[in-house]
Chain A
């Protein structure tokens, strides 16, 4: 016999299963989100970080970029392609010049203009210390990612010019 209680219980199970499926079902937006989280975590730095750790993190960050990846800085009309080794060296240099660093991404918008290609726009905020100097920078970044052998890798990164002197 079907009672009111059993209907409510069945509904609760269906809703619960849907939520769990939505949260854990693998899809591309979530995969890109994971790459960004990794970039935030590995990009951030504490003053206690050892040089070996810096190198390891730089290598992990560089692994998120296609070899080569195009970088463009709109404000200085600069555009160039860098291979992974160059990206790693540049990241190591930047991270070494900051004693403490915090990387955060906001207002992330992802779209898929074609299969295995994603467009990304977000606000990147950097906070940190360089010696006794507090530093902060905010930029709008647009990027393109491609799904290569199951991983979403950055193929181009562009720092937009919001304020033009």
Chain B
């Protein structure tokens, strides 16, 4: 038993160990750059669902075989993947979006948003989401509308979904 524990922590440096080390390193790099990208959330635009400073993962294969849907929380890239936006999809291409006294209306119907815990006074005239785009908003509507980053974004900018 003591021998196997010692062997686990202090393995013999032979060819087989080198191969195992390479495989594990390669697998870790693949998983954490192409599948589950670690991320630290900065800012309060998705509160109370996601808090400033919390850690999570971007599940990059989320939309490999499916398309984004209403309510999905997605990562949106800028020039690359080092800084991304975390937002919730509220409308899809071809649908209309509006805010009246802080309430969200999609295709003229009020949307029930249990994830929004604060009241707001947002007013936004009706607009139609263009083809190839989705409409995203943060959960924290307590912020003044002109200080909140939201709107329609190209589908190709969605990097993946948040893991939990």
Contacts and interface: CB of A to CB of B under 8 A. Distances in A.
A125 interface: yes
A92 B76 CA distance: 32
Contact of B80 (A106, A138, A162, A164): A106
Contact of A162 (B81, B127, B157): B157
B6 interface: no
A122 interface: yes
B95 to A, nearest CB: 15
Contact of B83 (A107, A109, A141): A107
Given A106-B80, A123-B79, A138 B151 contact: no
B43 A136 contact: yes
A164 B81 CA distance: 20
A130 to B, nearest CB: 12
Contacts of B80: 106-107, 109, 123
Interface residues of B, number: 19
Interface residues on A, range: 10 to 19
Question: By DSSP majority rule, is chain A's interface helix, strand, loop, or mixed?
Answer: strand
Contact of A138 (B83, B124, B150, B153): B83
Given A162-B157, A163-B136, A165-B124, A140 B150 contact: no
For the complex of A and B, the 3 pairs showing the least CB-CB separation, nearest first, are A107-B80, A163-B151, A123-B78
Given A140-B78, A163-B149, 19 more contacts: A106-B79, A106-B83, A107-B81, A109-B80, A123-B78, A123-B79, A139-B78, A140-B79, A141-B79, A162-B78, A162-B157, A163-B76, A163-B136, A163-B150, A163-B151, A163-B153, A164-B151, A165-B124, A165-B151
15 contacts: A107-B81, A109-B79, A109-B80, A123-B80, A123-B83, A125-B83, A140-B79, A141-B79, A162-B85, A163-B136, A163-B151, A163-B153, A164-B151, A164-B152, A165-B152
